[in-house]
Amino acid sequence: MREITLSRAVNEAIAEEMRRDPRVFLMGEDVAEAGTPFKVLSGLVEEFGPERVIDTPISEPGFVGLAVGAAMTGARPVVDLMFGDFLYLVMDQLCNQAAKQHYMSGGKLTVPMVLRTNLGATRRSAAQHSQSLQALVAHIPGLKVAMPSSAYEAKGLMKTAIRDENPVVIFEDKLMYQDKAPVPEEEYLIPFGQAKVTRPGRDITLIATSSMVQVAEAAAERLSGEGIQAEVIDPRTLVPLDEATLLESVKRTSRAIVIDEGHQSYGVTAEIASRLTEKAFYHLDAPVVRMGAMDVPVPFSPALEDLTVPAPEGVVEIARRLCAGELVHGA
C-alpha cells in the first residue's frame, strides 16, 4: 500500500469531501494560497476556488461564529484554527453556540461543522502555541472530539467528521504532519466511537491518544523484551468514546496506563481512568495510572519542555512496576 504523510491525508480527505458535497467549504486564517503554516491545505484553493477555500481575517471568534451560522442554515463548513491554543478565543462560539443549538432547539437545529486544529508540545513554541486542549472541548456536551494517531486515522476520521451532523473538533498533532503511514487509495471512513487495538497484549493495557500512541508502542516494544506483553489501544475519538473495547481489554489484562498529552489534572487521562475504575474495578489487579502532560504551562527551553510530556521510558517504568505488583503511587 502507498504511504503518505498525515498532512497529505488530511488534504485528501477534505478535497474528496468537497468534491462529493458542494455544501462543504473551508475557512480559516491563511488556508487558501498559503495552505496554512503547516502546508496541510496546499492546493485546495486551486481546485475549489476562493469561494470555497476562504482566507479569513485574524478573527477566530468571528469566523468560528460564521461557521456555526453557516452550518445551522445548510452548509457544512470546515474551519481551520491555526493553533489549538486559540480554542480559548472561540469558547463562546464553540461551547455556548455550536455545542448547544441542537439541544436548545429541541432537536430542530443542527450544526454540522468541523473545527480542525492541533495539539502537541516539544516544537519549542512555548506556552501559547503548544497546548493540548482536547479535554476542554471533550467536557462540553454536544461536541464530538477526534484525535487521529496516524495518516490513516487522520483521513478516515476527517471524512467521517465532515459527514457528521454535529460539531466535531479534530486535533492533529503538529509534530506528526510529515509522518507517513499506509493509506489506501480507495475511499474509506473510520466510524466514530470505535477504538483500535494497535498491538495486542495480555499483561497491561496502554490506552493512548494521538502521538501518544507512538509513545505507547515504543514502550510496549521495550516491555516485550522484558517478557511483559502490553496491549496498546487508540480510542481515536474521545467523544464518543469506545468504552466497551477499553473495558474488555482492561478486564483481560487487569492493568492499565492512560496516556494523553493534555495536562494530567482533570484531563482526558483522568476521565478514562475513572471510567475504568468505575466499570472494571473488580478486574483490576493494580491501580489505573494516568500519564498526562505536567501541570505547568509549556516551557520554552528544550531542556525543560521535554520533561513535561509523557515519554516511553516513563511508560516502561510504570508498566514494569505495575506488573511486578509494586506500589506506584502509594497504597
Partner 1 sequence: MTDARTNSAEYLRMYRQMVRIRTFEDNANQLYLSAKMPGLTHMYSGEEAVAVGLCEALTDDDRITSTHRGHGHCVAKGAEFREMFCELLGKAEGYCRGKGGSMHIADQSHGNLGANAIVGGSMGIATGSALRAKLMGSDDVTVCFFGDGATAQGLWYEVMNMAALWRLPVIYACENNGYSEYTKTEEIAAGSITARAEAFGIEAHRVDGQDVLAVNALARDLVARARRGEGPFFVELETYRYHGHHVGDINREYYRSKEEERDWKENRDPILRFRGWLVSEGIATEDEIEAMGAEIAEDAAAAVAYAEAAAYPPAHEVDMHVFAD
Partner 2 sequence: MAHDVTMPQLGMAQDAGKIVSWLKAPGDAVAAGEALFEVETDKAVMEVEAPAAGYLSAVAFGDGAEVPVGAVIARIVATAEEVEAAAPAPEAQGAPAPEAHGKSAPEAQGEPAPEAPGAGAAGGAAALPDGHPVTMPQLGMAQDAGVLVSWLKAPGDRVAAEDVLFEVETDKSTMEVEAGRAGWLAATLARAGEEVPVGEAVAILSEAEPAVPVARSVRDGAAPTAAATTKAPAAEATAKAPATAHSPQTAQPAPATESAAPVAPHARGGRILASPKARRLAAEEGLDLARLAEAGHPQPYHVADLAVLRAMPTAPAAAGAPALPPRRLTASVATDGLAAFAAWAAAAEGLSSDAVLAGLVGASLGADDAVTVAVARMGAARGFTVPPGRALSAVAAADSDAPPALVVRDLRGTPLVAVAMGAEPAPVLTIMEAGMGAGAGGGLSITLECGAEALDADAAIGLLAAVAGRLDDPLRHLL
Q: Which option in partner 1, partner 2, none does residue 307 bind, with CB closer than 5 to 8 A by kind?
A: none
- Among 46, 105, 265, 274, contact with partner 1 (rule: CB under 8 A): 105
Asked if 138 contacts 131 with a C-beta cutoff of 8 angstroms, the reply is no
- Min CB(256)–partner 2 separation in Å: 12
For residues 25 and 80, give the distance between their C-alpha atoms in angstroms, rounded to a whole number: 11
**Using the rule CB under 8 A, is 303 a contact of partner 2?**
no
In the complex, what is the shortest distance from the CB of residue 78 to partner 1, in angstroms, rounded to a whole number? Answer: 13
User: Could you say whether residue 103 binds partner 1 (CB under 8 A)?
Assistant: yes
Residue 179 main-chain phi, psi, to 5 deg: -70, 135
Residue 39 burial by Cβ neighbours in a 10 Å radius (0-12, 13-18, 19+): middle
d(CA 320, CA 315): 8
**Residue 191 is placed in which grid cell?**
466510524
Give yes or no for residue 45 binding partner 1 (CB under 8 A).
no
Which CB atom, from 165 or from 226, has the smaller least distance to partner 1?
165
Residues annotated as part of the active site: 60, 129
The one of partner 2, partner 1, none whose footprint includes residue 285, by CB under 5 to 8 A per kind, is partner 2
> Is there binding between residue 275 and partner 2 (CB under 8 A)?
no
**Would you state the torsion angle of the CA atoms of residues 147, 40, 16, 43, taken in this order, to the nearest 10 degrees?**
170
Q: Which does 283 bind (CB under 5 to 8 A by kind): partner 1, partner 2, none?
A: partner 2
Look at residue 327 and give the partner it binds from partner 1, partner 2, none, a contact being a CB closer than 5 to 8 Å depending on partner kind: partner 2
Query: Residue 239: left (phi > 0), alpha (psi -120 to 50), or beta?
Result: beta
How many residues are given for the chain? 331
Say which entry of partner 2, partner 1, none residue 281 contacts (CB below 5 to 8 A, set by partner kind): partner 2
Among 15, 16, 39, 109, binds partner 1 (CB under 8 A): 109
When the beta carbons of 65 and 287 are compared against partner 1, the nearer one is 65
Q: Can you read off the three cell numbers belonging to residue 33?
A: 494560497
Q: Any idea of the CA torsion for 46, 47, 49, 54, to the nearest 10 degrees? A: -80
Nearer CB in complex with partner 1: 56/132: 56
Note whether 280 and 247 are within 8 A (CB): yes
- Name which of 15 and 284 has its Cβ closer to partner 2: 284
Dihedral (Cα; 238, 213, 136, 274), 10-degree rounding: 70
Summarize as ranges the residues that interact with partner 1 (CB under 8 A).
22-23, 25, 51-52, 54, 56-57, 59, 61-75, 77, 92-93, 96-97, 101-110, 112, 141-142, 144, 165-166
Per CB under 8 A, residues contacting partner 2 are 254, 281-286, 325, 327, 331
